[in-house]
Structures are given as C-alpha cells and as structure tokens.
Amino acid sequence: MYKRIIFLFFLILSGIQYSSAQSVYLIKCKTLYQLDKYDELMEPALQAVKAEPKSAQANFYLALAYMFVSDSTNALFFINEAAAYANAEEEISVLDVRASLYYELHKYREALGDLFFLLDHNQTPSGVYWYMGRCYEGLEILDSAGIYYRKAISIYPDSEDILIEYARYKANADDLDSSMIIFKRCLQINPQSPQAMMGMAKIATYKSDFAETMLRTDAVLDIIKQGYYDSATVQAAFIDVYHHRMCAAIFFERYDAVDADLKNFSLKDVYSVCMKNLMGITSFIAQGKITEANKEMKKITDSVTVNSYEFRQTRMVLSMHSKDVKTFSATLISMCENDPEGKTLKERIIAPFAGEQTVIAGDILFYRENMKGEIHFDLNIQTDKAFLQETKIYLDKFNKSNKASNASIRALLMVEELLNAI
C-alpha cells in the first residue's frame, strides 16, 4: 500500500549538497528505495539522520523505513521532522507521503490539509483527488467523496485503482447496482482484477447470493494461484479470500463449504494456520458445537496466534457462548492493553450492537463494516444481557483488588458501554 502511494507522489530530489558522511548514507537510501529493498532501508536512514538531524531527506527516508515495518508512531515523528526542515522543493515530496500516512492512521482531516496544499501546487491531481475522495469517505462526507472520485476518474477514466475505490464508494452509498457496473468496467480494463472480483463477490454476499459469492471467489483464488501477486502479498490475498468465503458459508449455514475450504487451505505459516483454525472454531460456534470449539481453542498454544487480535476476539465470542465470565474478562482486559484508546474494540464489538447491523441470524451477527460488504461474526449480545451484567460485577470486584490496572478499568467501561447499547 505504501509503495503504491509513494509511487504516485514521490519526486526524486537532486542538486543538493550534503556532508560527505550524510551523502554516502543518503545515496544508499536512494539506491535501496529504487531497488524496492525497503527491508534494508532502516540502518542507512538512521545513520543519515545521526549525521545530520536537520536533513529533510534523511528524516524522509527514515520515515519510509518505519512505514515499511508498520511503526506508524515513529514514521509520523520523522515525516513531521522532514516537513519541519524541508525547503520548498522538498516539501512537496514530504507532504505527499505524510498525507498517505495520515490516511492510514485514519487522520483524515490532517491528510486533507496536506492534500489541499498539494492541489494548490498542481501536484499529480488525479492521485490527490483520489485520496481526497477516500478521506472524505472516511469522514462519512459522502457527497464530497463522490465529487473528488469523479474528478480523479475524469483525468484517468481507465485507472483500475481509482475505479475500484469509486465502486466501493458506491457500495458505501448503498448504490449496489452502480457499484457492480463499475466493478464490471474494471474487469474490462483488467480481466484478471482480483479486487474487482472480490468487490462483486461481496455485493453478491450482501444480496444473499451464495452461489455467485463462491463463483467469484473461486475465480480470485485461480488468479492468485497463477501468480498474480508477488510473494510479499500473496499470503494476505489468500487469507482475505478464504476468510470471506468461509464467513459467507457460515452465515448461509453451508458448513459443507466451510469444511471443504478448511481442507483445501494450503498455507502453512503460523498466521495463516491461525486464521484457518479460528474459522473452524467460528464454524463450530455457529453450529452450536461449543464443546468441540473449546477443544480446538485449547490446541492453539503458539505465541504468535495467542497474541493476535483475531484469536482474542474469537476467544471472547466462545467464552460468551460457554458462559465463562472469567475467560471473557481476562481476554477483554488483554485486548484493552493492546488497544489503549479502545478504537478497534469499539469498531469491532460495540458498534455492531449499537444499531449498525443489518441482519441477525441466530447467534451470528452479519453486518457490513464500513458498509463495504465485509462480513464479521460476533454474538448477538442483545440475548446475553445477563452474561454482561455478571461480567460487570466480576470486573468491578477485580478492579477493587491489587490486580487492577488501567486496562481492567477500561474493560469495565467497555462492558458498561455495551450494556448501555442494548
């Protein structure tokens, strides 16, 4: 994602004199960037900043290095340092990247500030318009989002990336028919566009067309297997497709399809196996096979999986079904430790029960996250008010003990908020 954003905006700076030490490191940073060797960028960038802390380019490359390793805190710090020391020529490149970083951090208003600056300086208008549309969509100002998406399309009518985002925007605005037309237009431009096929699959799911969902995702899997993605992104692509297929199958109670996908799931790395096992557990929960689900959950012991958000979220759901207040509380506290502001918890757990869901089937909740056709599962907490009340009592006692922490206090507040949402 970052590579594509930087490609759209990045302007190579030249004609600037450096100290000899800094120059060597900056030349190496530039070379590594041009060779896409982001994994080697950190050390020379650190040395360049050490040699000249007020160098805009040195801070710029270090920000890119931190972006590559998903360290947004340090990335934002050093891109701000680059902005502080940048001259007029350097400022364009710096704000290009800072706008993309702000977007990834959901700081849409800050991103728009940089994007308007770039627009005023006549920089890559199609890319700027595109990201302005995305930012306005993130702010749920859909009319403005549509205006800037259309401006971007008017400049590059055959841009697959822009059309994909515009199709998602249309789905976000509940115009699913227009969204489907735009996705089909993407396939005319690129018959092997997995993004367009997945978009159409998600619309089919929302329209309760399970056969079409499976047909579209089968096509995506075929394209991925043919080598469409590079080795760095193929894992995420496979998981995205399988996750949607299995979630759709569970929702439509097609457990035979879930079992078939679990059998055909071939990725062997720890995270992929984690996702596979959690989908199997989710399937057991949906079928009411709580004993089997608990047995499978106990088999998961590796630290990568146990510390993942997905594992803890699934364990919360299972513990609610098992009426296990202690495990539920412990898991919620651990999630609060890794999500201090509670944003992710609220988005994934509270928001669906505050009226944003579209369909409830038994204990499985189906809703569109950001109204883009994605499927997520959780308990219908409205049927478990008594369990939440017991959890509130448990956490209240816990917070009066010597084990209390900021995370446990936030967990109690979270439960209270859930109860208020019912």
DSSP letters spanning 258-317:
HHHHHHH----SHHHHHHHHHHHHHHHHHTT-HHHHHHHHHH---HHHHTSHHHHHHHHH
Of 72, 103, 123, the residue that ends a domain is: 123
| Per-residue pLDDT at 173 | 79
Q: Are residues 112 and 202 in the same domain?
A: no
Model confidence at 313: pLDDT above 70: yes
Q: What is the CATH number of the domain that holds 26?
A: 1.25.40.10
Query: Partners of 365 in the beta sheet?
Result: 360
Shared domain check, 219 and 106: no
Query: Does the pLDDT at position 380 exceed 50?
Result: no
Structural domain contains residue 333 = no
With 60 as the cut, is the pLDDT of residue 95 above it? yes
- Those residues with Cβ within 8 angstroms of residue 158's Cβ, 6 or more apart along the chain or in another chain: 189
Q: What is the CA radius of gyration of the chain?
A: 24
Report yes or no on 397 lying in a domain: no
State pLDDT tens for residues 140-185: 898 999 999 999 999 989 999 899 989 988 887 778 899 999 999 9
Picking from 329, 274, 281, 328, the residue whose alpha carbon sits closest to that of residue 306 is 274
Whether residue 27 sits in one domain with residue 106: yes
Which are the contacts of 68, defined by CB distance < 8 A and separation ≥ 6? 2, 38, 39, 41, 42
Residues 94, 2: one domain?
Answer: yes
Q: 211 and 107, same structural domain? A: no
| Whether pLDDT at 102 is above 60 | yes
Over residues 178-228, the pLDDT tens digits come to 999 999 999 999 999 998 999 898 888 888 889 999 999 999 999 988 888
286 is a domain residue: no
Which of 242, 267, 292 is where one domain is finished?
267
pLDDT at 20: 55
At 307 the pLDDT is 75
Question: Is residue 392 situated within a structural domain?
Answer: no
Each residue of 33-64: pLDDT tens digit?
A: 778 787 888 888 888 888 888 888 889 988 98
Shared-domain flag, residues 196 and 119: no
The last residue of a domain, from among 220, 248, 267 = 267
- The answer to whether residue 339 sits within a structural domain is no
Range of the domain at 220: 192-267
Using an 8 Å Cβ cutoff, are 60 and 98 in contact?
Answer: no
Residues 112, 211: one domain?
no
Residue 112 — very low, low, confident or very high, per pLDDT cuts 50/70/90?
very high
3-state secondary structure of 229: coil
Q: Is the pLDDT of residue 100 over 50?
A: yes
Q: How wide is the angle at C-alpha 225 spanned by C-alphas 375 and 189, nearest 5°? A: 75
Average pLDDT, the chain: 80
In this prediction, residue 377 carries a pLDDT of: 41
On whether both 104 and 9 belong to a single domain, the answer is yes
Portion of the chain with pLDDT greater than 90, in percent: 30
Cα angle vertex 367, ends 352, 270, to 5°?
A: 90
To which residue do tokens 């399988």 refer?
242
Do 8 and 96 lie in one domain? The reply is: yes
- Whole-number pLDDT of residue 259: 93
Token pair of 83 as six digits = 């902005």
pLDDT at 351: 41
Helices 160-172 & 125-138 angle (0-180, nearest 10) = 20
Confidence of residue 344 (pLDDT cuts 50, 70, 90): low
HSE, side-chain direction, 13 A CA sphere, residue 111: 23
Q: Does residue 21 form part of some domain? A: yes
pLDDT of residue 16: 41
More confident of the two residues 121 and 405: 405
pLDDT at residue 401 greater than cutoff 70: yes
Q: What is the C-alpha separation between 214 and 201, in angstroms, rounded?
A: 7
Is pLDDT of 7 > 50?
no
In a domain, 260, yes or no: yes
Amino acid identity for residue 14 in this structure: S
Q: With a threshold of 0.75, does the pTM exceed it?
A: no
DSSP string, 159-199: -HHHHHHHHHHHHHTT-HHHHHHHHHHHHHH-TT-HHHHHH
**pLDDT for position 9:** 38
Domains in the chain: how many in total?
A: 2
Q: Is pLDDT larger for residue 366 or for residue 105?
A: 105
Residue 150 resides in a domain: no
Compute the distance between CA of residue 92 and CA of residue 206 in angstroms, rounded to an integer: 41
Tell me, what's the pLDDT at 295? 92
